[in-house]
Structure 1
Amino acid sequence: MKFILKILKKVLLGLGIVIGVIFLISVIFLYTSPQFGGKASDEKKQSYTKSDNYTDGKFKNAGNISTEMSFKDMMKATAGMLKKIPNARPNHSLQVQKIDSVSIDNYKGEARIIWFGHSTFLVQINEKNILIDPMLSDVPAPHPWLGSKRFNEEPPIAIEQLPKIDVVLLSHDHYDHLDYESIIKLKDKVEVFYTPLGLGNHLLAWGIDDEKITELDWWENTQLYGLTFTSTPAQHFSGRGLSDRDQTLWCSWIIKSSTEQLFFSGDSGYGAHFKEIGEKYGPFDFAMIECGQYNELWSEIHMFPEETAQAAIDLKTKSMMPIHWGAFKLAQHSWTDPIERVEKKAAELSIPMVIPQIGEPVLISKPVAASNDWWK
């Protein structure tokens, strides 16, 4: 018996040491990894108090809609993530249409978009290159071990081959939208960064000059290159670590030229803000609207596909493209469920919709995809 107890004590001691080492490594990682970004100075925090969206040291949604999950819901979500979902990922690497830097750099045609999967876009308008939510890494997480890989092994173009980027638009600071490694590779070829309030602190921590960063509150806009960029509401939340929940704002974006007007939803639950944006700024020529990574447990912060279609109606857009799908597994639904459901609802509501293959250019004036039903 004494021998067994002695062995048990050694096992428990060894287990305790392993747990202690893992905990120590985790703490060091949390406090030293640049992935987690930066924090606002006291002076900046004071400036945020002028915003209607900032209360008690945190940003908030309109109507004070809570995005906090109860412990019970967190347990449900965790249990759900452990379940095996049929067709959760494609059974092979998704094919993409390759593009090269010369074709991008020399493009002088009418306004067009190129989708990189999920919510990353290159918008070419007024002979300028605008990159939206550039997440071009393989895993949307602070470390590759903490997430699942992208559905396509190769991007349409390597990030190093991208030509000069005139504007980077960022919607919020989650890893599938604000990627540290992508920003580091891009920063020297980007003219300016436009972000919602607070997000610029991450960019500053990553070595980007303050002069290149403009933070905007909801309904604020800025002009550059004959284009107007307007930050508009979204219903979401923010945070990259364990202690920075809602320390930065989230938003959607409007890009307006003299002849076109585009909308990008960022991440958002369905709400009255879509109709408000449509009434203030619509109609839109083209809208890129979130459609994917949804769950009943977080319906306040991510739309279901049927709501995506309704948001297009609210926005008064001439044509709609579903986004936030086709790249990563971040929720418990099949990888094609978003597109199948939104396609059905859009048909019911007679909403013109385009679903291009990753890397396929789409003209704003004629939003038609050559590669129909490519996901099938």
Structure 2
Amino acid sequence: MLETLLVLVGLSVMGIALFMNLSPQFGGKATETQLQEFGKSRNYKEGKFINLGNVKLEMSGGDMLKAIGGMFKSIPNTTPKQPVSIQKIDSVDIADYNSATRFIWFGHSAFLVQVNGKNILIDPMLGDVPAPHPWLGGKRFSREIPIAIEKLPKIDAVLISHDHYDHLDYGSIEKIKNKVGHFYTPLGLGNHLMKWGIPKERITELDWWQNAELDDLTFTSTPAQHFSGRRLFDRDKTLWCSWVIQSPTENVFFSGDSGYAPHFKEIGEKFGSFDFAMMECGQYNELWPEVHMFPEQTAQAGLDLNAKKIMPIHWGAFKLAQHTWTDPVERVSKKAKELNIDLITPKIGEAFTVSDTVTQNTDWWEK
């Protein structure tokens, strides 16, 4: 009996090791030359990327077990009682659009931004499960996304904030990579893309405060307070960031994942007023306050940025924490009213522009 158990344990360990070493989902690793280049960054220390002030995710072993155990607890309303209803959008509508800057939310943190005749995807996690294997994560709240990946038209640029599975999805990248003009990422993340067959010349990696231009658009990698990693032992081997998207007429901010910190105010001071800010609001827990904001902090961060309008993101698609699935939008809506911040809450798949006011759908999640 003991020998059989040992054999089973050995086979399981071997299977996990093979999966982690042979499966492409885990991405690539930096070369020695790249590591030397990373060393020139102010955000790289002792072989890892760091946050401003060297803020770290402070979780003890007990906290980790508590967090893992919490994911298996039966907590009411952490997922919708029925699939979330979304709004579909036609591929022709996307391909033919050439008007005011338009946004389409895919749920969680994934967006299609149409600006100045260009299509930009942000954190395109368009798959069903935010994990390296379907057995390792919960399914998307909706049965489908606003448009099938295969029906997306040419994508001029993809912006990625960091390499966690709910933001960088191997399956999604595989399906879109041949229709994407260029990928923009924080330092080190390009290795994952190259591992997945994307040529180096179609990838631009940026440190915080560095920018890249695409015709009349400027993409700037700005700070976030978070962490990175796709394997068991690659914590903080790639950088994470937020993004500023500037056109000749608009300033747009995308928070990526971040705890609340002074960098929001610094970004606001450097870039002036933002016309629109997509702000992380979901998957928070008292066990990890350093790396994810609570909804009240999301509203305050919008104020720090001097954003004219904010939209809560990082919710509405997956269960990655123990709060109810509507808690983020309910709490941030309340706080935004207190702070007199213009908040928009479009339905997943609803196309909207910055000037639209009809996106104040304060009850679609209740329906």
Among candidates 237, 240, 255, match of residue 227 of structure 2: 237
1:321 correspondence with 2:308: no
Task: State the AA in 1 paired with 2:289.
Answer: S
Equivalent runs, 1:5-24 vs 2, <5 Å: 10=1, 12-24=2-14
Report the TM-score, using the length of structure 2 for normalisation.
0.98
Task: State the AA in 1 paired with 2:290.
Answer: E
Q: Distance in 1 between matches of 2:19 and 2:308?
A: 47
Give the C-alpha shift of residue 238 in structure 1. Answer: 0.2
Give the C-alpha shift of residue 61 in structure 1. Answer: 0.3
1:105 correspondence with 2:75: no
1:258 correspondence with 2:248: yes
Q: Aligned-residue CA RMSD in angstroms?
A: 1.0
Secondary structure of the corresponding residue to residue 37 of structure 2: helix
Q: Distance in 2 between matches of 1:294 and 1:125?
A: 31
1:148 correspondence with 2:102: no
Q: Deviations over 1:282-330 (max 9, x none)?
A: 2000000000000011000000000000000000000000000000000
1:134 correspondence with 2:124: yes
Structure exhibiting the larger radius of gyration computed from Cα positions: 1
- 5+ residue gaps, structure 2, are none
Q: Distance in 1 between matches of 2:280 and 2:274?
A: 16
1:353 correspondence with 2:343: yes
Q: Is the 8 A contact 2:343 2:360 kept in 1?
A: no
CA separation of 1:367 and 1:167: change in aligned 2, threshold 3 A: farther
Secondary structure of the corresponding residue to residue 296 of structure 1: coil
Q: Distance in 1 between matches of 2:310 and 2:107?
A: 16
Q: Give the corresponding residue for 1:340.
A: 330
Q: Distance in 2 between matches of 1:317 and 1:352?
A: 9
Secondary structure of the corresponding residue to residue 231 of structure 1: strand
Report the TM-score, using the length of structure 1 for normalisation.
0.96
Task: State the AA in 1 paired with 2:44.
Answer: Y
Give the C-alpha shift of residue 186 in structure 1. Answer: 0.6
Q: Distance in 1 between matches of 2:240 and 2:68?
A: 25
1:171 correspondence with 2:175: no
Q: Give the corresponding residue for 1:159.
A: 149
Q: Distance in 1 between matches of 2:208 and 2:309?
A: 24
Q: Give the corresponding residue for 1:213.
A: 203
1:70 correspondence with 2:57: no
Q: Give the corresponding residue for 1:310.
A: 300
Q: Distance in 2 between matches of 1:100 and 1:58?
A: 43
Task: State the AA in 1 paired with 2:283.
Answer: Q
Q: Distance in 2 between matches of 1:309 and 1:98?
A: 29
Among candidates 177, 193, 206, match of residue 203 of structure 1: 193
Among candidates 69, 72, 82, match of residue 79 of structure 1: 69
Task: State the AA in 2 paired with 1:279.
Answer: E
Q: Distance in 2 between matches of 1:68 and 1:41?
A: 29
Paired residues, number: 366
Q: Give the corresponding residue for 1:5.
A: none
Task: State the AA in 2 paired with 1:296.
Answer: E
Q: Distance in 2 between matches of 1:170 and 1:215?
A: 10
Task: State the AA in 1 paired with 2:126.
Answer: L
Task: State the AA in 2 paired with 1:322.
Answer: P
1:247 correspondence with 2:233: no
CA separation of 1:212 and 1:293: change in aligned 2, threshold 3 A: same
Q: Deviations over 1:112-150 (max 9, x none)?
A: 100000000000000100000000000000000000000
Q: Is the 8 A contact 1:329 1:335 kept in 2?
A: yes
Compare 13-22 and 322-331 and name the one that shifted more: 13-22
Q: Distance in 2 between matches of 1:80 and 1:275?
A: 33
Give the C-alpha shift of residue 367 in structure 1. Answer: 4.7
Q: Give the corresponding residue for 2:44.
A: 54
Q: Is the 8 A contact 1:111 1:365 kept in 2?
A: no
1:268 correspondence with 2:268: no
1:25 correspondence with 2:18: no
Q: Distance in 2 between matches of 1:367 and 1:52?
A: 41
Q: Give the corresponding residue for 1:224.
A: 214
Among candidates 125, 131, 149, match of residue 115 of structure 2: 125
Q: Deviations over 1:180-230 (max 9, x none)?
A: 000010100000000000000100100000000000000001111200100
Q: Is the 8 A contact 2:108 2:316 kept in 1?
A: yes
Q: Give the corresponding residue for 1:301.
A: 291
CA separation of 1:367 and 1:285: change in aligned 2, threshold 3 A: farther
Q: Distance in 2 between matches of 1:341 and 1:174?
A: 25
Q: Distance in 2 between matches of 1:145 and 1:248?
A: 26
- 5+ residue gaps, structure 1, are 1-9
Give the share of equivalent positions with the same residue, in percent.
Answer: 65
Q: Is the 8 A contact 1:197 1:216 kept in 2?
A: yes
Q: Is the 8 A contact 2:259 2:293 kept in 1?
A: yes
Q: Distance in 1 between matches of 2:73 and 2:197?
A: 41
Q: Give the corresponding residue for 1:289.
A: 279
Q: Deviations over 1:53-103 (max 9, x none)?
A: 001110000001111421122122223223221101001111111011110
Task: State the AA in 1 paired with 2:308.
Answer: K
Q: Distance in 2 between matches of 1:27 and 1:268?
A: 31
